[in-house]
């Protein structure tokens, strides 16, 4: 490199180099540089040839830092340099060192991601400036860079000029910094966008649309209506978290601006699809119009400007006739009593003096206004302060009003200036319009006028009329805008129409051939031969070996084991059905075209269908989760519809399984209806085809499950005073896992007397987030006794021994050896569980047993021992931590889905017997726990995550409201979720699917929002029309590989994909993505047969070409 030194120095000499403004420890010169050395071209030339003096540079940096805390941050995908740094300074004493790196290997990190991470590092490292809040992020970095209005897409609004389009829709994401400011506007415990912020967004739209500048022109707003509130909570993964974000980061909260020209005036509407905790693509509600009005420019702004106002004279006049004065503290105490719980940045009233129908108020920012906030025209903190003052004036005349007053309409709004350039102090004059001639009432509210001036008495804005109206909590925060909307779910059983009554089927033209499994007794088998079921012929097959069966020879394959056999436990029955489904799946090659007969799994009394019903055999309920997942995987394998149907017949009421001829008639009737419908039990609604996959028979009628919104509300629960667990003695199974420790901390924070953590090993975690949670629990929760017990809940003897010790009144902690006296048990939180994920064909009895033992056997052991020892009477809570995998199904988790359905049914079983029980079907907790490990895969399947804060709020609300036994807590991104049903969607999703279709159409019609790149976006692409078919296929394969591996780069044409990390579950996801994108059929072994991108591309090119030739 020596030959390049002179050229490098020559280049550097032409650059206007400046002295270093920060301390630089040079790894070439091995010392701290003098600021002027960076201006020397020789310094930059020697970088090419001189050796690296890294140790000396690190030591020089440590010596130069006047602090006992030093942070080393490596900007790169490996920790090479920070690891070396750690070795160098390991012997230094008196320093606290943090070693961080910015990005991980293979990670895509754009500028916004790096800025976000830097901001997080700043808060993580707790720099003095960060603690004191001195550091101000400057959004307007360059003078030539125009800063958009904080709430709207100014560029798109401006682009509507001269475009010839009368209607313009543009959607903008509210950035994190703006959102943090606006979240201080709290009404009944919930951050909502201030009504005046809609007014300011309209003002911004007026300037952008007209191309005018404030100061040269004035703006007018007329007939503004503020109709619906906009909740400012972000998505469920961020709700309630204290994670610091870079202010310029785009949040999940989006606002859509609609403009429509009408001569000299322009109609403007502001809407959103954001609902509570749910992001846009998970929302099922149509876009809500929050506010609308008309904007225009003043013809002669100066002429329309009122005469100057003498603040001192006005203040004097008010003082002489004053009837009430509020200080800042008094004003916000008054407002807080009416549900207006403003944070510091919206407490801008300094003092207000009221005299009759008028008032004068001094306003002042309570926070350091960031540069990006100056893009507001009338800052919401100041303008809302005017509204707050107006509300106090009205309340002075209406002291009996016990609720909030909010703006619902305004007109004759004229703006001449901006709060962004007017300093930090303002004055406002408030006047009740009409005075004594227009009565004030709690039903109608009042109309006020507002005049806003800056600290120098310059007129900024004037609101001719604004109506303030009393509202109650349900008006501001209706059920449809609650956090639970789109997050919490329940399943209801819906009775079929009259046509769904079961009747004995008419005689068939030919005998239907049934292949019956699970018919293990001669008596049961002979029933098929004795009973006339329209000439149907039952065939008995011992066991579940379906490998030698030709499916196309049969009209239906049925498993009757759940109706006519007695089972020792849930594992035995689940494994038996699993074996049958695996045998059938082995026959379903992707290239096959033969019809697949209905595959029917029959149980009797496994589910509680009607309110209060007690399931006769709840241990068999896991078959529901098994079937929901198996159907997904079998259809992906067969690349065609798989008619898998689960039927729950009415139990005979006997404890042991009792098979009857009536049961055969009921199954025959359902299958007759199935065969006589084209397509088989499928029907179209809202553009999507639905198919019956589960049916229950009760009282001769058919019932089908339907997913719908839960009635639980989270926003009221967030403010409720009751504390779950206060003064109680509670057990947490899986207590030393991530979720168990989160619940333990929550109970301790609620004032629990004793928390007993059950663990199979009894060993506290030593690393990772769980270790941090354990440390918090042991160090901070001094008022709660935390007792660790080594206990395997899958062993009933361990539970019996534990309960005996609790009844005796004492326990010895397994960790500390300390003796604790305990009160009677009042709560159980069953969070124990393990994951053993495998594709359906790789599952076996052992994988089922491993998952069932802690979750299902553990729950039933707790249930039985409570009853046996008479401990139910004092029990207040028995909460089982289930999973949304059982509710929705998920490829690769058939065993886990089945296990969770079992404990859901146990909760209903306990309730039917008058015992306390809840089962919450959790989505992935993104901060820790088993599900956090699978967050990436869940997100691709359409499952969103939830934060600890939101999970605990759900747990709290479920127990407090106590209205539903089984609750699903899972944000679902329906646009990603529904495509997994390539042929027909289960009827259980019909109600939600209809809402999603409507919401999608509305969103497409009113928003310019575009979703990010996804593999399925190419699903409809016609490969024959591609200019380069091979390139197109290669891109699809490459995109699918990157998506599964969750990397942005590193996938080459020749790299074996399995060696890069695609496991068996990933191979299924990879295959499904390519099938969907190219509309081809692929075998389950395609990745093994063609292991590289290039090899698979060649294979697919040949397959697609042959298929096109055949079609031609």
Give pLDDT, residue 1009: 33
pLDDT of 224 above 60: yes
- The CATH architecture annotation of domain 2-125 reads 3-Layer(aba) Sandwich (3.40)
Between 120 and 37, where is the model more confident? 37
Three-class SS of residue 463?
strand
**pTM given for the model:** 0.75
Give pLDDT, residue 537: 44
The owner of tokens 């859901």 is 904
Between 338 and 848, where is the model more confident? 848
Burial of 551 (0-12, 13-18, 19+ CB in 10 A): middle
pLDDT of 1093 above 50: yes
d(CA 679, CA 142): 62
pLDDT tens column, 911-921 = 999 999 999 99
Least confident of 209-218, 735-744, 929-938, 989-998: 929-938
Query: Residue 155: which of 199, 208, 214, 207 has the closest Cα?
Result: 208
d(CA 360, CA 312): 10
- DSSP 8-state secondary structure symbol assigned to residue 793: T
Q: Tokens for 489?
A: 């779910």
Give pLDDT, residue 1040: 81
Cα–Cα distances (Å) from 141 to 136, 149, 654, in that order, read 12, 15, 76
The answer for residues whose C-beta is within 8 angstroms of residue 1057's C-beta and 6 or more apart is: 1041, 1045, 1051, 1070, 1087, 1091, 1092, 1093
Give pLDDT, residue 804: 97
Q: Where residue 132 falls among pLDDT bands split at 50, 70, 90? A: very low
| Cβ(206)–Cβ(365) below 8 Å | no
Q: Report the pLDDT averaged over residues 954-980.
A: 92
Query: Residue 992: which of 477, 488, 287 has the closest Cα?
Result: 488
904 is catalytic: no
Give pLDDT, residue 1046: 61
Beta bridge partners of 431: 358, 449
Give pLDDT, residue 591: 67
pLDDT of 443 above 80: no
Query: Residue 505: which of 555, 553, 541, 564 has the closest Cα?
Result: 555
Beta bridge partners of 207: none
Which segments of the chain belong to CATH 3.40.50.720?
779-971
d(CA 829, CA 733): 6
Please give the class, per CATH, of domain 1026-1111: mainly alpha
Omega within 30 of 0 (cis) for the link into 679? yes
The owner of tokens 């030709």 is 550
Query: Residue 223: which of 467, 394, 462 has the closest Cα?
Result: 467
252 is catalytic: no
Cα–Cα distances (Å) from 666 to 533, 705, 948, 1052, in that order, read 10, 18, 46, 57
Least confident of 120-129, 393-402, 942-951, 1081-1090: 120-129
- The CATH architecture annotation of domain 311-480 reads Roll (3.10)
State the chain's mean pLDDT as an integer.
Answer: 82
Catalytic residue among 384, 792, 904, 1072: 384
Share of the chain above pLDDT 90, in %: 42
Q: Report the pLDDT averaged over residues 59-81.
A: 80
| Cβ(562)–Cβ(580) below 8 Å | no
pLDDT of 999 above 50: yes
Least confident of 216-220, 434-438, 605-609: 434-438
pLDDT tens column, 713-766 = 887 766 665 689 999 999 999 999 999 999 999 999 999 999 999 999 999 999
* CA-based radius of gyration for the chain: 34
| Cβ(902)–Cβ(618) below 8 Å | yes
Give pLDDT, residue 1026: 47
DSSP H/E element including 359: strand 358-364
Neighbour count for residue 677 (Cβ, 10 Å): 13
- DSSP 8-state secondary structure symbol assigned to residue 507: P
Least confident of 18-27, 96-105, 802-811: 96-105
pLDDT tens column, 506-538 = 555 566 788 888 876 555 555 555 444 444 444
| Cβ(856)–Cβ(863) below 8 Å | no
Least confident of 51-65, 66-80, 214-228, 791-805: 66-80
DSSP H/E element including 407: strand 404-415
| Cβ(57)–Cβ(30) below 8 Å | yes
Least confident of 198-207, 828-837, 896-905: 198-207
Beta bridge partners of 537: 513
Q: Where residue 832 falls among pLDDT bands split at 50, 70, 90? A: very high
Share of the chain above pLDDT 70, in %: 79
Query: Residue 88: which of 56, 64, 63 has the closest Cα?
Result: 56
Give pLDDT, residue 239: 75
Between 505 and 949, where is the model more confident? 949
pLDDT of 199 above 60: yes
**Kind of pairing, strands 754-759 and 729-733?**
parallel
Three-class SS of residue 413?
strand
Q: Report the pLDDT averaged over residues 815-825.
A: 96
Q: Tokens for 474?
A: 């349900």
Cα–Cα distances (Å) from 519 to 528, 555, 561, in that order, read 10, 18, 6
pLDDT tens column, 620-668 = 999 999 999 999 999 988 888 999 999 999 987 665 556 778 888 889 8
The owner of tokens 């007053």 is 405
Catalytic residue among 185, 617, 672, 814: 185
pLDDT of 1050 above 80: no
Neighbour count for residue 590 (Cβ, 10 Å): 18
d(CA 229, CA 171): 17
d(CA 611, CA 653): 17
Between 1042 and 36, where is the model more confident? 36
pLDDT of 937 above 80: no
- DSSP 8-state secondary structure symbol assigned to residue 1034: H
pLDDT tens column, 664-716 = 888 988 887 766 654 444 555 556 889 999 999 999 899 999 999 999 988 77
Q: Most confidently modeled of 273-282, 484-493, 961-970?
A: 961-970
pLDDT of 197 above 80: yes
Which segments of the chain belong to CATH 1.10.1200.10?
1026-1111
Which segments of the chain belong to CATH 3.10.129.120?
311-480
Cα–Cα distances (Å) from 858 to 734, 792, 801, 863, 1024, in that order, read 10, 8, 14, 9, 56
pLDDT of 977 above 50: yes
Query: Residue 623: which of 594, 650, 595, 644 has the closest Cα?
Result: 644
The topology under which CATH files domain 779-971 is Rossmann fold (3.40.50)
Q: Give Dmax over CA atoms of the chain in angstroms.
A: 104
pLDDT tens column, 979-994 = 899 889 999 999 998 8
Beta bridge partners of 580: none
Q: Report the pLDDT averaged over residues 1027-1031.
A: 71
Burial of 762 (0-12, 13-18, 19+ CB in 10 A): middle
The owner of tokens 């004003």 is 331
Cα–Cα distances (Å) from 271 to 98, 165, 228, 258, 292, in that order, read 45, 20, 9, 8, 9
């Amino acid at each position: 490199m020596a030959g390049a030194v002179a050229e490098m120095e020559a280049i550097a000499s032409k650059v206007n180099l400046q002295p270093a403004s920060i301390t630089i420890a040079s790894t070439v010169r091995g010392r701290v540089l003098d600021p002027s050395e960076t201006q020397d071209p020789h310094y930059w030339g020697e970088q090419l040839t001189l050796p690296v003096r890294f140790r000396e540079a690190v030591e020089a940096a440590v010596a130069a830092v006047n602090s006992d805390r030093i942070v080393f941050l490596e900007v790169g995908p490996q920790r090479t340099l920070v690891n070396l740094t750690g070795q160098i300074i390991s012997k230094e004493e008196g320093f606290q060192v943090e070693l961080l790196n910015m990005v991980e290997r293979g990670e895509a990190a754009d500028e916004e991601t790096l800025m976000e991470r830097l901001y997080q590092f700043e808060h993580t490292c707790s720099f003095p400036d960060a603690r004191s809040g001195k550091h101000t992020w400057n959004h307007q970095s360059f003078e030539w860079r125009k800063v958009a209005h904080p709430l709207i897409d100014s560029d798109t609004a401006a682009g509507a000029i001269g475009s010839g389009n009368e209607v313009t829709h543009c959607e903008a994401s509210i950035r994190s910094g703006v959102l943090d400011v606006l979240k201080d506007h709290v009404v009944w415990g919930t951050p909502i966008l201030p009504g005046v912020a809609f007014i300011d967004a309209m003002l911004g739209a007026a300037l952008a649309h007209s191309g005018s500048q404030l100061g040269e022109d004035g703006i007018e707003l007329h007939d503004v209506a503020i109709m619906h509130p906009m909740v400012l909570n972000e998505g469920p993964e961020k709700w309630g978290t204290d994670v610091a974000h870079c202010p310029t980061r785009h949040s999940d909260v989006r606002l859509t601006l609609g403009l429509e020209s009408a001569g000299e005036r322009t109609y403007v509407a502001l809407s959103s699809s954001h609902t509570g905790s749910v992001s846009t693509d998970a929302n099922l509600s149509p876009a809500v119009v929050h506010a609308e009005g008309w904007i225009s420019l003043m013809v002669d702004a100066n002429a329309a400007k009122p005469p100057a106002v003498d603040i001192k004279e006005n203040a004097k006049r008010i003082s002489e006739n004053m009837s009430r004065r509020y200080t800042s503290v008094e004003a916000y105490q008054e407002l807080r009593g009416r549900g207006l719980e403003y944070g510091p940045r919206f407490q801008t009233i300094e003092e207000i003096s009221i005299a009759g129908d008028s008032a004068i108020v001094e306003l002042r920012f309570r926070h350091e206004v960031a540069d990006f906030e100056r893009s507001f025209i009338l800052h919401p903190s100041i303008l809302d302060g005017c509204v707050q003052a107006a509300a106090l004036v009205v309340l002075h005349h209406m002291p009996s009003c016990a609720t909030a007053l909010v703006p619902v309409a305004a007109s004759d709004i004229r703006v001449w200036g901006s709060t962004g350039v007017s300093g930090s102090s303002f004055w406002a004059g408030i006047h009740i319009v009409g005075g004594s001639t227009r009565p004030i009432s709690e039903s109608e509210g009042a109309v006020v006028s507002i005049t806003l001036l800056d600290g120098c008495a310059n007129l900024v804005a004037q609101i001719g009329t604004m109506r303030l109206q009393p509202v109650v909590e349900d008006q501001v925060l209706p059920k449809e805008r609650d956090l639970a909307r789109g997050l919490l779910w329940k399943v209801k059983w819906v009775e079929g129409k009259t046509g769904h009554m079961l009747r004995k089927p008419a005689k068939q033209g030919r005998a239907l051939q049934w292949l019956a499994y699970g018919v293990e007794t001669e008596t049961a088998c002979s029933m098929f031969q004795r009973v006339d079921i329209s000439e149907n012929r039952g065939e008995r097959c011992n066991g579940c070996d379906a490998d030698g069966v030709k499916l196309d020879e049969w009209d239906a394959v049925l498993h009757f084991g759940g109706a006519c056999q007695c089972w020792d436990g849930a594992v035995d029955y689940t494994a038996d059905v699993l074996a049958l489904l695996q045998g059938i799946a082995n026959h379903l090659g992707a290239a096959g075209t033969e019809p697949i007969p209905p595959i029917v799994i029959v149980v009797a009394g496994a589910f509680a269908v009607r309110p209060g019903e007690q399931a006769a055999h709840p241990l068999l309920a896991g078959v529901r989760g098994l079937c929901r997942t198996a159907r997904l995987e079998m259809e992906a394998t067969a690349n065609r519809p798989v008619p898998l149907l689960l039927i729950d017949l009415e139990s005979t009421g006997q404890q042991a399984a009792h098979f009857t001829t009536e049961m055969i008639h009921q199954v025959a009737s359902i299958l007759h209806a199935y065969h006589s419908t084209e397509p088989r039990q499928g029907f179209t609604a809202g553009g999507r085809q639905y198919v019956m996959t589960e049916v229950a028979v009760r009282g001769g009628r058919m019932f089908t499950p339907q997913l719908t919104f839960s009635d639980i509300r989270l926003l009221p629960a967030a403010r409720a005073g009751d504390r779950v667990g206060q003064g109680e003695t509670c057990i947490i199974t899986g207590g030393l896992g991530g979720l168990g420790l989160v619940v333990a901390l929550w109970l301790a924070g609620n004032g629990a007397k004793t928390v007993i953590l059950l663990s199979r090993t009894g060993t506290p975690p030593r690393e990772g987030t769980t270790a941090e949670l354990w440390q918090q629990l042991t160090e901070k929760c001094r008022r709660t006794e935390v007792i660790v017990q080594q206990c395997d809940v899958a062993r009933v003897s361990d539970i019996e021994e534990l309960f005996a010790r609790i009844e005796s009144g004492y326990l010895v902690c397994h960790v500390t050896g300390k003796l604790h006296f305990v009160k009677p048990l009042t709560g159980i939180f069953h969070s124990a569980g393990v994951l053993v994920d495998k594709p359906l064909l790789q599952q076996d009895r052992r994988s089922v047993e491993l998952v069932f033992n802690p979750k299902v056997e553990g729950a039933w052991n707790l249930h039985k021992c409570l009853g046996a020892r008479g401990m139910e009477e004092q029990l207040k809570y028995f909460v089982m931590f289930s999973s949304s995998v059982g509710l929705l199904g998920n490829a690769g988790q058939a065993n886990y889905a089945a296990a969770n359905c079992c404990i859901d049914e146990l909760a209903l079983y306990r309730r039917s017997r008058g015992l306390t029980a809840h089962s919450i079907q959790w989505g992935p907790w993104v901060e820790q726990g088993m599900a956090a490990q699978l967050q990436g895969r869940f997100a691709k399947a359409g499952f969103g995550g939830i934060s600890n804060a939101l999970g605990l709020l759900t747990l709290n609300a479920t127990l407090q409201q106590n209205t539903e036994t089984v609750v699903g807590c899972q944000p679902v991104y329906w646009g990603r979720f529904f495509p997994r049903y390539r042929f027909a969607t289960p009827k259980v999703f019909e109600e939600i699917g209809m809402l999603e279709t409507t919401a999608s159409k509305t969103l497409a019609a009113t928003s310019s929002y575009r979703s990010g790149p996804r593999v399925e976006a190419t699903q409809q692409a016609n490969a024959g029309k591609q200019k380069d078919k091979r390139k197109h296929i290669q891109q699809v394969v490459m995109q699918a590989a990157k998506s599964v591996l969750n990397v942005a780069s590193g996938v080459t044409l020749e790299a074996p994909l399995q060696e890069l990390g695609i496991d068996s579950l990933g191979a299924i996801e990879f295959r499904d993505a390519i099938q969907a994108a190219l509309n081809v059929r692929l075998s389950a072994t395609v990745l093994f047969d063609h292991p590289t991108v290039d090899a698979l591309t060649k294979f697919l090119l040949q397959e697609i070409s042959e298929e096109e030739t055949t079609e031609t």
